[in-house]
Amino acid sequence: MKYVIIRDDDTNALMPAEYLERLYRPFIERNMPVNLAVIPNVSTSACHAPGKPEKFLLAYRGPQNGSVPIGQNTDLLRYLRCFPQFHFVQHGCRHEFVGNHYEFDHDDRDEIAKRLDEGIAAFQQAGLGIPRTFVAPYDQLSRVSMEEVAKRFDVVSTGWFELGRIPSAWWPQYALKKIRHASHWRAGRTTLLSHPGCHLSYHRSYSLMLQEIERSIESRRLTVLVTHWWEYFRDGHADEPFIDVLHRTADYLASRDDLKVISFDDVADKKISLN
């Protein structure tokens, strides 16, 4: 049996529910889990480069002077609660730079712990439960961040792992992962999942996207497919050909009897073998 996790990054309090409905209705109708990486307390001034606001703020027109917890978007939460197919993982805290670094790519342990706990509290206050999986903004985690994340979460989903960015106590398991050429591994109580890049991205060839997804699924037991909702609505306009690729991906996943779409919680509960 093959397994697939759908991970959509950057759900936040400043987006309308209509975007998710447009994208994921075919998944909902097939009862496929969709894992939303939720920014708990999104910064209204988040930038992906100096002077360039994050694209996940595309629907926001207010002042850029603070942050907004996910619980303040009651319409979005009302929509999400209608569908048990949506699962929620913590995506950073405010998704902003700390000094000159990505939010969790530095070594200030107190600041890291503060933001992790702030994010968990925002989840609970919004009625989303206690998140069990963590996704760092831009997949950037320092060793100190990894240590603090492992204290609080069962699963880490990221693009890759580096020796210098994991706790030294994990090095033997990491070495075994490298020897086995494994995509996923476990260290202590923490399950560590990598993904094969963002196949579902407007930067990729639309005509080849589904083929790349199929190859990734064939090459491993568990595949994490990462996408970003805002990429389908750049500049406020729906990219219909790109949305069609996403919906054809749902068709493909549903067509295979030897494949199951699962949630990160299924991994946290150790319901499947990783590799």
Instruction: Render pLDDT for 168-222 as a digit per residue (tens, 0 to 9).
Output: 999 999 999 999 999 999 999 999 999 999 999 999 999 999 999 999 999 999 9
Is 274 contained in some domain?
no
The pLDDT mean for the chain works out to 96
Is 249 contained in some domain?
yes
Is 110 contained in some domain?
yes
Backbone angles phi, psi at 50, to 5 degrees: -50, 125
Is 134 contained in some domain?
yes
More confident residue, 90 or 101: 90
Residue 55 sits in a domain of what CATH number? 3.20.20.370
101-106, long-range: CB < 8 A, 24+ apart = 102/136, 102/137, 102/138, 102/140, 103/136, 103/137, 103/140, 104/136, 104/137, 104/140, 104/141, 104/142, 104/145, 104/149, 105/136, 105/138, 105/140, 105/141, 105/142, 105/145, 106/142, 106/144, 106/145
The pLDDT of 48-62, averaged and rounded, is 86
Q: Give yes or no for a contact between 5 and 271, defined as CB atoms under 8 angstroms apart.
A: no
Is 275 contained in some domain?
no
Q: Is residue 57's pLDDT more than 80?
A: yes
User: What is the C-alpha to C-alpha distance for residues 208 and 199, in angstroms, rounded to an integer?
Assistant: 10
How many structural domains compose the chain?
A: 1
Q: Is residue 156's pLDDT more than 80?
A: yes
Is 273 contained in some domain?
no
Is 245 contained in some domain?
yes
- Is residue 235 very low, low, confident or very high in pLDDT (cuts 50, 70, 90)? confident
Q: Is residue 99's pLDDT more than 90?
A: no
Q: Which domain holds residue 99?
A: 2-268
